[in-house]
Amino acid sequence: MSAPNLVPPQSSALLASQEQQSFGTYFSAAIKRIRGGDIGSLPIILGFVMIAIIFQSQNSNFLTPRNIVQLILQMAGIAAIAYGVVFVLLLGEIDLSAGYVSAVAGVSVAVLLRPPYELPWFIAMAIAFAAMLAIGALHGWITTYFRLPSFVVTLAGSLAWSGVVLGIVGRGGTVIIGDPIVRGLSLSFFPPLVGWIICIVLIALFAFTQLRTYSTRRANGLATKPIGFIAIETGILSIMAIGIVYICNQDRGLPFIGVLLLALLIVLSYIAGQTRLGRYIYAIGGNKEAARRAGVRVEAIRIIVFMISSVMAGVGGIILASRLGSVSAEAGGGDLLLNSIAAAVIGGTSLFGGRGLVSSAILGALIIASIDNGLGLIPGFPSSIKFIITGLVLLAAVIIDSISRRSQQRSGLR
């Protein structure tokens, strides 16, 4: 007589899933995904290492604490705008108005802080963000209701909002920001002890989140990431966080704007990866018609995404205005829009929709700011080359994305 099976079916499934997700199996699956074209942020990380080595060899000041802190301040505005661009790209759309929308937010705050209004900074910002929500809703509604390409709608919006900025500031004019709170966004630094506390809290929060996900999936009989990988990821994050705080403390301290960027990254990553809205965005970007047939309200999601894009453009515009201490008639122009879109794409967000992470924006912004910063440290180097190099990096990112997508499609057919 055979011994009875004392393991319930649920437990058997759980044990099977745990066996499938052993360290070796998980590592082999990761290698297989990379070979299949799912390379994630690997190219951008390797690219930054190469950039750092090249510029450090040309100027030993590139990796100094002073310049690292300056790099964080330099990339902050672009990264904030790129956060919103990522959501639009995930949907398979484009927002060409982000540059001048950011300028509308910056000039609105600057004007409301001055006579004759002289509003408190928090009211001025609340009004600016309310305007950003309205602008995003307008772009999304026009695109949805009239079934127009977002390219055309946001291009028209870019022209219109540039006119608004010019009308408020006046040709050749500049609005100075004297409010210490708004100026302090880019001029405030945490004392060393506070920086270390923030570092410890960040590491503890990451570890807690990973372990909670691990235990929840185990309890539900789902495949889990091996505990060894969780330990490795936590260790890598700890080394990076400790290194950044240590370097910043050698200069002025951890920038407030860097912590704000990190907080926004955590919130937006949670929305994209852990909420129903985020799942719908990825589903629409992957296959809009399939998502519609599954009951997803595609039109409503599109409007919400454009609202997110405009709000984050507003955040970026206020950050840029704070860093410069003023807003001019040229705000939002130049290469701001292209750099913001490039930051999202270079970081790994697909132009074809449905693939990418919010964190890709900060990685891409780091690359763009590093190129700009590093070339500025080389004496006599033509500034025009900066645009050529940035364009080539963007082209390379798009080519890698296209090759990766084709590789994944071929792998899926096998």
Q: Nearest Cα to 76, choosing from 188, 151, 175, 154?
A: 188
Condensed to tens digits (0 to 9), the pLDDT of residues 70-79 reads 999 999 999 9
Question: Which stretch of DSSP H or E encloses residue 215?
Answer: helix 192-219
Percent of the chain with pLDDT over 70: 87
Residue 74, pLDDT score:
94
pLDDT of 177 reads 92
Answer yes or no: is pLDDT of 365 > 90. Answer: yes
- Supply the DSSP symbol for 353: S
C-alpha distances (whole Å) from 341 to each of 84, 234, 325 are 10, 30, 24
Q: Which residue has the tokens 């050698």?
A: 250
Cα(387)–Cα(375) distance, integer angstroms: 11
> What do you get for the CA distance between the two ends of the chain, in Å?
44
Which are the contacts of 134, defined by CB distance < 8 A and separation ≥ 6? none
Helix axes 23-35, 227-249, angle to 10 degrees: 70
Handedness of CA 82, 88, 91, 96 (dihedral sign): negative
Q: Phi and psi of 118, rounded to 5°?
A: 50, 50
The bridge status of strand 326-328 relative to strand 174-176 is antiparallel
Name the nearest CA neighbour of 362 among 263, 286, 231, 276.
263
What is the residue whose two structure tokens read 């007589």?
A: 1
Query: Is residue 221 a contact partner of residue 17, using CB atoms and an 8 Å limit?
Result: yes
Residue scoring higher pLDDT (6 or 143)? 143
- Cα separation, 360 vs 83, in Å, equals 8
Taking all residues of the chain, what is their mean pLDDT, rounded to a whole number? 87
pLDDT at 409: 65
Amino acid at 186: S
pTM summary value: 0.89
Which range, of 13-22, 226-235, 246-255, 401-410, averages the lowest pLDDT?
13-22
Grade residue 19 by pLDDT with cuts at 50, 70 and 90: very low
- 306 residue type, one letter: F
Q: Does residue 358 register a pLDDT over 70?
A: yes
Q: Which contiguous run of DSSP H or E holds residue 282?
A: helix 276-286
- Three-state secondary structure call for residue 175: strand
More reliable by pLDDT, 43 or 344: 344
* Mode of pairing for the β-strands spanning 189-190 and 254-255: antiparallel
Enclosing H/E stretch for 16: helix 9-20
Using alpha carbons only, what angle is made at residue 19 by residues 18 and 23, rounded to the nearest 5 degrees? 90
Q: Minimum mean pLDDT among 80-89, 152-161, 178-187: which range?
A: 178-187
